Structure 1
Amino acid sequence: MNSHQRSHPRFDEDVHFNLVTPGPSRYRTRTDKPVRYLTVVDKEGGAVLGYVWANDEDAAAAWVPRAAAGGRALAEGGHWHVRLQEAKGRGIPPSQALVEILSNPEGNRGRALPGSLTDAPTLAALKELAAGR
């Protein structure tokens, strides 16, 4: 159909708008402020797979895989992201999500290490720890 041709008049009247709801609730994944984090270890050998971190001030939380743990750490991250997403969906602060994780520490390949909740001066410092620097 040419641009100068009109569409059928009936189609001019049949315009529908669908309300699109936003995607799932998520915490932010970045902050430049201090973070609280917990350590997740491999169920099989006890090696550190990564860290779940949170910052209430920026409503931020996510998973940081440990570089030395390779693909196993990357695969484990999905489980922790889902748990954080569920917590955000219930409207709880990120730090409370960490407390919940410690109360039910089992993941797919790993588990949150009891007593590992601690602080890092920045998310960048935690990422350096995960990178092995």
Structure 2
Amino acid sequence: MSSEKPIPSRFEENLQFKQVAGPATYSNTTDGPVVYLSVADRTGSVIGYVWANDQDDAAGWVVPPGLSANAVNAGGRWVRALRAGKARQLAPTALLAELARGMNDGRQSHAVPGSLSEAPTLAVLKERALGG
């Protein structure tokens, strides 16, 4: 007779992740055109793009590859601005307009003046971020 206790069957089940609560967020994908804003660090180097599409209630942050840790960290305030905009129930492009007016600028990063632009798709913007 073995002295080992049997493993309860509940420990052998495959658990399924199901998020039941959390902050509201914009969709992170769209197939339509996007309006975007370039964001630069204090040296003037572009560290990312905030984009928006009202039709799909979508908005997000696209980061170019190869950034320094400080540049990546500076992008955090723009991700937080997206969450705050959704919490205030702003349309994605209304939030982008606020950001373009400098509402989220700080010591580490700022919206590039006059950089509000449009791309035919999110994929095109991501390609731009890659330097293509």
How far apart in 2 are the matches of 1:110 and 1:69? Answer: 13
Residue aligning to 1:112: 111
Residue 66 of structure 1 pairs with residue 64 of structure 2: yes
Q: Hey, what does 1:13 align to over in structure 2?
A: none
- Over aligned residues, Cα RMSD in angstroms? 1.8
Say which structure is richer in helix: 1
AA in 2 matched with 1:55: N
Q: Which residue of 1 aligns with 2:78?
A: 80
Q: Note the C-alpha offset of 1:105.
A: 4.2
Question: What residue ranges of structure 2 are gaps of 5+ in the alignment?
Answer: 1-18
Per-residue CA shift, 1:103-122, capped at 9, x if unaligned? 21414521001111110010
> Whole-Å Cα distance in 2 between the matches of residues 108 and 131 of structure 1?
25
**1:21 Cα deviation from its structure 2 partner:** 7.0
Q: Conserved in 2, the CA contact under 8 Å of 1:66 and 1:131? A: yes
- Runs of 4 or more consecutive aligned structure 1 residues displaced over 4 Å after TM superposition: none
Are 1:68 and 1:131, in contact at CA under 8 Å, matched by a contact in 2? Answer: no
TM-score by length of 2: 0.78
- How is 1:17-96 mapped onto 2 (pairs within 5 angstroms)? 22-43=21-42, 45-96=43-94
Number of aligned residue pairs: give it. 113
CA distance in structure 1 between the aligned counterparts of 2:77 and 2:124, rounded to whole angstroms:
23
Q: Matched residues in 1 for 2:68 and 2:29: separation?
A: 22
CA gap of 1:108–1:30, structure 2 versus 1, over 3 A, is farther
Amino acid at match of 1:35: V
**Contact 2:40–2:47 at 8 Å: present in 1 too?**
yes
- Give, in angstroms, the shift of residue 47 of structure 1: 0.8
Aligned residues with identical type, % of pairs: 45
Q: Is the 8 Å Cα contact of residues 76 and 108 (structure 1) preserved in structure 2?
A: no
Contact 1:102 1:114 in 2 (8 A): yes
Q: What secondary structure is seen at the aligned counterpart in 1 of 2:85?
A: helix
SS at 1:88 equivalent: helix
The aligned amino acid for 2:32 is K
